[in-house]
């Protein structure tokens, strides 16, 4: 097939006519405003399909009261792809206090009310009504984090695998480039959608009875078992984590009465060459021209360059590993430089690159000494409880890349705004020095998350000593560079197992150092994470009973403790100094 490269995927029949298309092959539905940038998963998937010669259109943020909006581009020839957007829709709509957010950063002007709760299910049901008999494929982070029975914090109950409610033909989890191409190829050829890595399906009564799992599949607790015994969520979470390895992990299956959800093994991570190809597709890197106002999420990343996929951390509160996996893929220097050269040609570029990164700013070009050991590994993290000796990330490749980019004419500033992994930073002396001296935009984000050893352990973070060491290094290197710049530490309140006694460790630190944190995060149990299993069961990963704060009344003391530090002296300093500044004691203190 010949490659197609329109500036934007069409959102109207007029745009289709201009492209000479009388019919789409594939229609994409998304809960986000359409931004043609590789940081948006749906734009990335669309570009890959366009590059394979498929005619792809998009309906963004449709009215969900009827299927009418989905029909405006006509019935697609092959399939309909559905995503709730770059965030799980419940995270997008509701706060940790279960109140509606006042803005939606993925909508024009931050306007709320542009997507429904559990958007993936709602959109999928609309698509089935609009296009009867057409294959429906779901994907994105909401599909990834809800692919098995899970705890939904906002409804405070267990929910079935998302595909049970959606009844899609097939669902994609994780990094979707390889699975989606195979799915579309099979649909076009009239072939089965079974057995594709990175996918899961719902089998009806007859197909479920015929399914004969072999040694390549692991059984998860059934829906009825999970309803009867809270501890089954912890059992399920551990089994899922054990089988996430893309080389040695097994498939999974979970019974829902006479139906069966079958989850294939994770897809292999993209190679550096494959990641380069994906990001070098002809993205316009702009919102679709139909939008007349700013889209806050785009304003944040419009001058950033995605360079990394995956995260080695496996933190208990984070859903990224469940979605992208812990194997890190990085783009080549040459590919990143191409992005810089393209960025320079944009009329809105003023010489500042806001970020080159991914899940963290210092995991670029992570390597393994022996890939065969990785293929057999069942760890949930490459960094916890100690950094795996088979995992190598000395930062030297990133130092070289940063220097190359800084030397390009027209690049005035290069910032790294992805958060820094402290456990790696204290070992990456050369990289840390380079970042502090040349790539801090006044503030540097770090995430100790907590400072009490028991809570940090349950979070699957390494000891707080790394934060203290980095704090000293940051101040010394900032002074040496002659720069006034500040750390922005992120702390989480109300993580399972954290009582007011443990939270006092953070409170005492902030008091002792006269620190006003800019970012305060009350814990949200994300679906399919270890933290959510701990919150729901009231037990840690080892089965020990822990205290869990539930409801705003129980959670408020820890929230207020952090907010108190954040708000003190508010208005007495300029905004730049308020953000995460460690306030120096006066002579009389």
CATH code of the domain in which 41 resides = 3.40.50.280
**Whole-number pLDDT of residue 3:** 65
Q: What is the mean pLDDT of residues 457-462?
A: 95
Region 250-273: mean pLDDT is 96
CA distance 326 to 324: 7
With a cut of 80, say whether residue 587 has pLDDT above it: no
- At residue 129 the predicted structure's pLDDT band, cuts being 50, 70 and 90, is very high
Q: Are residues 319 and 184 in the same domain?
A: no
Same domain, 192 and 330: no
At residue 272 the predicted structure's pLDDT band, cuts being 50, 70 and 90, is very high
Q: How many domains, the chain?
A: 2
Residues 184, 326 within the same domain: no
Q: Is 100 helix (H, G, I), strand (E, B) or coil?
A: strand
Name every residue whose Cβ is closer than 8 Å to that of residue 76 and which is 6 or more positions away in sequence. 23, 24, 25, 26, 27, 57, 131, 134
pLDDT attached to residue 104: 98
Residue 262 lies in a domain: no
Whether residue 192 is found in the same domain as residue 334: no
From 177, 199, 221, give the residue that closes a domain: 199
Least confident of 93-107, 353-367, 502-516: 502-516
Is 209 domain-assigned? no
> What distance in Å separates the CA atoms of residue 468 and residue 473, rounded to the nearest whole number?
9
Q: Do 409 and 554 share a domain, yes or no?
A: yes
Q: Is 213 contained in some domain?
A: no
The residue among 199, 218, 247 that closes a domain is 199
> Residue 222: inside a domain, yes or no?
no
Range of the domain at 538: 303-578
CATH number reported for the structural domain that contains residue 409 in this entry = 3.80.30.20
Q: Would you say residue 578 has pLDDT above 70?
A: no
Residue 258 lies in a domain: no
> For 226-231, what is the mean pLDDT?
98
Backbone angles phi, psi at 581, to 5 degrees: -75, 135
280 close to 338: Cβ distance less than 8 angstroms: yes
Residue 42 and residue 177 in one domain? yes
Specify whether 525 is located in the same domain as 380.
yes
Query: Given a cut of 70, is residue 314 above it in pLDDT?
Result: yes
**Same-domain check for residues 47 and 191:** yes
| Co-location of 542 and 410 in the same domain | yes
What digits encode the pLDDT tens for the residues 410-435?
999 999 999 899 999 999 999 999 99
Does the residue 247 lie in any domain? no
CA 498 to chain centre: 25
| Residue 441, pLDDT score | 87
Residue 51 within a domain: yes
Is position 95 within any domain?
Answer: yes
Point out the domain boundary residue: 153, 168, 199.
199
């Amino acid at each position: 097939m010949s490659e197609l490269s329109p500036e934007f995927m069409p959102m109207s029949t007029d745009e289709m006519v201009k492209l000479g298309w009388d019919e789409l092959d594939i229609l994409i539905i998304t809960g986000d405003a359409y931004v043609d940038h590789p940081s948006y998963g749906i734009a990335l998937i669309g570009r890959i399909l366009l590059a394979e010669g498929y005619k792809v259109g998009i309906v963004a943020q449709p009215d969900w009261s009827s299927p009418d909006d989905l029909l405006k581009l006509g019935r697609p020839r092959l399939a309909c792809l559905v995503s709730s957007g770059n965030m799980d829709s419940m995270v997008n709509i509701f706060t940790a206090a279960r109140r509606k957010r006042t803005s939606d950063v993925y909508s024009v002007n931050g306007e709320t009310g542009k997507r429904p709760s559990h958007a993936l299910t709602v959109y999928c049901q609309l698509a089935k009504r609009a296009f009867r008999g057409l294959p429906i494929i779901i994907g994105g982070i909401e599909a990834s984090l809800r692919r098995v029975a899970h705890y939904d914090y906002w409804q405070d109950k267990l929910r079935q695998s998302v595909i049970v409610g959606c009844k899609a033909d097939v669902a994609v989890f994780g990094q979707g480039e390889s699975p989606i191409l195979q799915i579309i190829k099979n649909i076009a050829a009239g072939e089965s959608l079974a057995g594709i890595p990175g996918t899961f399906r719902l089998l009806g009564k007859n197909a479920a009875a015929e399914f004969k799992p072999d040694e390549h599949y692991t059984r998860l607790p059934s829906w009825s078992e999970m309803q009867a015994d809270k501890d089954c969520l912890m059992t399920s979470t551990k089994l899922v984590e054990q089988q996430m390895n893309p080389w040695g992990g097994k498939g999974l299956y979970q019974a829902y009465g006479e139906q069966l959800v079958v989850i294939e093994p994770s897809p292999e991570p993209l190679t550096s060459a494959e990641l380069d190809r994906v990001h070098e597709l002809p993205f316009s890197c702009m919102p679709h021209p139909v939008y007349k106002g700013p889209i806050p999420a785009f304003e944040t990343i419009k001058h950033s360059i995605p360079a990394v996929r995956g995260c080695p951390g496996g933190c208990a509160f984070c859903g990224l590993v469940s979605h992208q996996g812990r194997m890190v893929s990085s783009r080549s220097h040459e590919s990143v430089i191409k992005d810089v050269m393209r960025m320079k040609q944009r009329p809105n570029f003023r010489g500042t690159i806001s970020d080159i990164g991914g899940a963290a700013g210092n995991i670029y070009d992570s390597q393994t000494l022996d890939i065969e050991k990785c293929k057999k590994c069942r760890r949930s993290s490459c960094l916890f409880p100690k950094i795996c000796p088979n995992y190598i990330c000395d930062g030297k490749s990133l130092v070289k890349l940063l220097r190359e980019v800084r030397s390009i004419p027209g690049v005035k500033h290069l910032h790294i705004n992805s958060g820094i992994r402290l456990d790696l930073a204290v070992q990456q002396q050369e990289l840390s020095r380079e970042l502090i001296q040349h790539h801090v935009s006044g503030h540097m984000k770090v995430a100790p998350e907590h400072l009490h050893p028991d809570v940090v352990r349950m979070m699957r973070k390494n000891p707080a000593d790394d934060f203290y060491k980095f704090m000293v290094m940051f101040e010394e290197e900032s002074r040496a560079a002659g720069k006034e710049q500040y750390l922005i530490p992120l702390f989480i309140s109300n993580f399972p197992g954290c009582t007011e006694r443990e939270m006092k460790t953070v409170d005492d630190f902030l008091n002792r150092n006269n620190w006003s944190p800019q970012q305060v995060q009350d814990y949200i149990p994300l679906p399919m994470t270890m933290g959510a299993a701990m919150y729901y069961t009231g037990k840690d990963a080892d089965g020990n009973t822990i205290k869990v704060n539930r409801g705003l009344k129980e959670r408020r003391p820890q929230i207020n403790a952090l907010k108190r530090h954040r708000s003190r002296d508010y208005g007495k300093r300029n905004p730049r100094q308020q953000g995460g500044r460690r306030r120096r004691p006066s002579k009389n203190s």
